[in-house]
Amino acid sequence: MISSNISVNETSHLCFAGVDVTALAARYGTPLYLLDEDRIRERCRTYKSAMAAAFGPRALPLYAGKALCVRDLYRIMREEEMGIDVVSSGEIYTAKSAGFPMERAYFHGNGKTDADVAFAMEAGVGTFVCDSREELDAISRFATERGITQRVLLRLAPGIDPHTHRAISTGSVDSKFGAAIETGGAEALCRAALSLSGVRLVGFHCHIGSQIFDTAPFLDAVRIMFSFAADMRERLGYTAEEINLGGGLGVRYLAEHPTIDYAACIAEIGTAVTEACRALSFPLPAIRMEPGRSIVADAGMTVYTVGSVKEIPGFKNYVAVDGGMPDNPRYALYESPYTVLPANRMNEKRDFVCSIAGRCCESGDLIQEGVALPRLVRGDLVAVLTTGAYNYSMASNYNRIPRPPMVLLSGGHDRLIVRRESFEDLLRNEL
């Protein structure tokens, strides 16, 4: 199995976090999102302890809520004493409603509006990760008006190609995010931040991309960020207190993907940080990382019911399920790989190669292609693994399909944390 929270019981049923998936589908209906709380906590602890070992006691992992943003997640993050990365007023609202201590929140985004800036300050967000001169001016103006001093990190584009999907690569010079080091934009933003009232520049941020298996681009990012920090010390007399290296470590979607040792990756990045500090005689700053996918992806699973099986002799086969791109747009968007299992027929031979089709009115609505399953029939269950990240958070109501519910699993118990959307929910905003 691709993850240790997946197993099969004596009735040939798939189990997730020790719970029979067929029984959960019977209780809650399908499509259904499942979430393994114990796995999420385990990953938070791995990040916390590995970062403390690599970067010292001031280090803090920030969970990137864009991967999965629901109130219960922020409760878990509060209990695990994590920080968080928030990217909209909606995420801030969700985190605050879970009682998350907002001084440990970092507010990202290249499109913060004045309303967002005001909302975040009102909510007590600890740090803004500023993306542009316009945003910096807005932060300064609002903070000065309120008589506060806002902590600010500057988002920089270090000019790195992390060899991941183009749509999720974010650190290159021509990225829409941040100020490029190479063009002098970063230095100009730094000068501005040091000159404005209401702003306390605490350091620099970068995020190079997502679903990255190799540590090499992170080590490059460390070298580039620290050399920029040393340049700013030399040229502007400013010493960064904090460096945020963003998120991006990959997860295993398929058996052929490597199992990632997150602690070992963090230790390697730690060595690069120590070396950079020594080489530049730079005092070790407080280090932040912002994992999203690697905290929640393999803590998630989606369960569907089969509606029809279509064989096109000489061409291909389809298994159509009761969900699709509204609950998981990632194959349609990025051709993302997923492992698909026959949840109620796990011990049968898998010799029927098929595409898993969603129920939407477009051919691109596929969950996966080239999957080997038993010859399923209407009513059978299909489980898609590793759907904890960027599934519910990217879900839509396309074709007026209500979003599925989410059930949290912990210690063998299940609890509904998000109810299934109703038809009334679909009409809620219509006047």
Site residues, ligand LLP (CB under 6 A): 64, 66-67, 85, 108, 168, 170, 207, 210-211, 246-248, 290-294, 330, 389-390
Minimum gap (Å) between residue 295 Cβ and ligand LLP: 8
Cis before residue 31, ω within 30 degrees of 0? yes
Nearest approach, Cβ of residue 247 and ligand LLP (Å): 3
Closer to ligand LLP by CB, 110 or 317: give it: 110
- Residue among 288 and 345 whose Cβ is closer to ligand LLP: 288
Residue 83 to residue 51: CA distance in whole angstroms: 13
- Shorter beta-carbon distance to ligand LLP: residue 131 or 414: 131
- Residue pair 338/385 in contact (Cβ under 8 Å)? The answer is yes
Cα separation values, 246 from 287, 341, 394, Å: 10, 33, 20
**Which residue is listed with tokens 């990045």?**
269
How many Cα atoms are found within 13 Å in the side-chain-facing hemisphere of 286? 11
DSSP 102: G
Task: Report the chain's terminal Cα–Cα distance, integer Å.
Answer: 49
- Is the distance from CB of 29 to CB of 16 less than 8 angstroms? no
With a CB cutoff of 8 Å and minimum separation 6, the contacts of 319 are 306, 308, 309, 354, 355, 356, 357, 371, 373, 376, 382
| Amino acid at the residue 337 | P
Smallest gap from Cβ 248 to ligand LLP, in A, equals: 4
Concatenated DSSP letters of 388-412: SSSSGGG---GGGPPPPPEEEEETT
**DSSP designation for 176:** S
Closer by beta carbon to ligand LLP, 207 or else 403: 207
Helices marked H in 124-256 — which ranges? 133-146, 185-195, 216-236
Q: Residue 148 or 264: which CB sits closer to ligand LLP?
A: 264
Q: Which of 15, 206, 277, 361 is catalytic?
A: 361
Q: Is 63 helix (H, G, I), strand (E, B) or coil?
A: strand
CB of 165 to ligand LLP, least distance (A): 7
Task: Assess whether 277 carries a catalytic annotation.
Answer: no
Q: In angstroms, what is the minimal distance from the CB of 333 to ligand LLP? A: 7
Rounded Cα distance between 65 and 302, Å, is 19
DSSP string, 286-349: EEEE--SHHHHGGGEEEEEEEEEEEE-TTS-EEEEES--TTT--HHHHH-----EEETT-TTS-
Helices and strands counted in the chain (H then E): 12, 21
Q: Least CB distance from residue 257 to ligand LLP, whole Å? A: 14
**CB 108 to ligand LLP: min, Å:** 5
Give me the least distance between CB of 7 and ligand LLP, in Å please: 26
Whether 302 contacts 391, CB under 8 Å: yes
- Of 246 and 358, nearer to ligand LLP (C-beta) is 246
Measure Cα distances from 89 to 64, 350, 397 in Å. Answer: 14, 46, 21
Least Å from the CB of residue 190 to ligand LLP: 19
Active site residues: 361
